[in-house]
Amino acid sequence: MKADNHVVSVVIPARHTGIPGASLDRCQEALARQSRAPDEVVIVKDVESRGPAWGRNEGILRAKGDLIAFLDDDCQPPEIWLETLIEAVDRHQADGAGGTYEETDPFLWEWRRRQAFPETEQVDETGLVGIGGNLLLRRSYLERIEKLDGYVFNEAFRNASEDWELSWRLRTQGASFIFIPLKVNHLKQVTLSSYLLGQFGRGIGISMLFRTHRLRGGGKGMNQSLLWGQDTKSGANFLKVIWRKVIGPFDWQSFSTIRYFALFWLGEKSQSAGFLWGLLRKKHLPLHMPERERKRCPIQ
């Protein structure tokens, strides 16, 4: 039942065809059961593997809503997901709201548990909001950032971190976000190869975030990291990065089995390799894509 005055679009970049655990059908079924139904669902099929940033930008171009929610095609939101996001934005007069994932893969569930997220709704002052599969943003702020930077999601981030990069740019322009503890079921299932490749791509994304943060002189709103602080005076602590990522980590107690810890440990090495590769190849990794003629992929 619609109890607000918004037109709400849900944008889904469909990019996981053939990957174990992905299910666009289950995602759509969950949207059909929402207590507050979306006014439209825009599905962008990324048949040329242009990346989730491209898919989300294409969806924004077609969306009609003043509020735009983002899901991934391997996500299954609970029935009150959209209603909760909208109510949080309206109650706080905020520019966006978002949460995190409930992992269905046993290893990813233990991996996600290492990341401490609050259990209560709150104004986001530390960079909690940014996961692209559980996010709602006001179109007005997306238009504002596009006018300022020339793009919304940065399509140069082909592998990962494009959602965090956007949320950081929005915060630097004064956008206010609300973190909600409501989790979206993440249907992704990992194998050894897919996890290590994913972590390598994540490392590339982090290297680009690092370069972006330094180029723009830091700034409030980036989620806390050993590579950057919450202000311009906080620099990278490379000694701790090397100890935790290259040598460690050593918190095997965080995992139920040695096998899971070994997978996590190898993933940290793969992520470190991706980060280093991103820094060494920085001339070939632009911080944003130049304006260009857009090719369309099928949109349902």
Q: How far apart are CA 196 and CA 147, in angstroms?
A: 37
Rounded to an integer, the average pLDDT of 53-77 is 96
- Band (pLDDT 50/70/90 cuts) for residue 225 is low
Residues 6 or more apart in contact with residue 144 via CB below 8 angstroms: 173
pTM above 0.75, yes or no: yes
β-strands 122-123, 177-179 pairing: antiparallel
Q: Backbone phi, then psi, for 177, in 5-degree steps? A: -125, 150
Residue 289: is its pLDDT beyond 70?
Answer: no
Among the listed residues 242, 257, 251, the one whose alpha carbon sits nearest the alpha carbon of residue 107 = 257
Rounded to an integer, the average pLDDT of 282-289 is 57
Question: Average pLDDT over the chain, rounded to whole?
Answer: 86
Of 2-6, 142-146, 215-219, the range with the lowest mean pLDDT is: 215-219
Rounded to an integer, the average pLDDT of 25-46 is 95
Rounded to an integer, the average pLDDT of 205-224 is 72
Residue 299: is its pLDDT beyond 50?
Answer: no
Residue 260: is its pLDDT beyond 90?
Answer: yes
Of 14-18, 30-34, 178-182, 183-187, the range with the lowest mean pLDDT is: 14-18
Q: b vs e for 21-45, b when ≥16 Cβ sit within 10 Å of the residue's Cβ?
A: ebbbeebbebbeebebbbbebbbbb
Residue 222: is its pLDDT beyond 90?
Answer: no
Count, residues in the chain: 300
Q: Backbone phi, then psi, for 98, in 5-degree steps? A: -170, 170
Residue 291: is its pLDDT beyond 80?
Answer: no
- Band (pLDDT 50/70/90 cuts) for residue 236 is low
Q: Are 107 and 263 in contact (CB under 8 A)?
A: yes
Residue 282: is its pLDDT beyond 70?
Answer: no
* pLDDT computed for residue 232 by the predictor: 45
Rounded to an integer, the average pLDDT of 12-35 is 80
Residues 6 or more apart in contact with residue 32 via CB below 8 angstroms: none
Per-residue pLDDT of 132-170, as tens digits, reads 999 999 999 999 999 999 999 999 998 789 999 999 999
Burial of 53 (0-12, 13-18, 19+ CB in 10 A): buried
- Band (pLDDT 50/70/90 cuts) for residue 201 is very high
Among the listed residues 180, 200, 189, the one whose alpha carbon sits nearest the alpha carbon of residue 266 = 200
Q: How far apart are the first and last CA of the chain?
A: 24
Rounded to an integer, the average pLDDT of 222-249 is 65
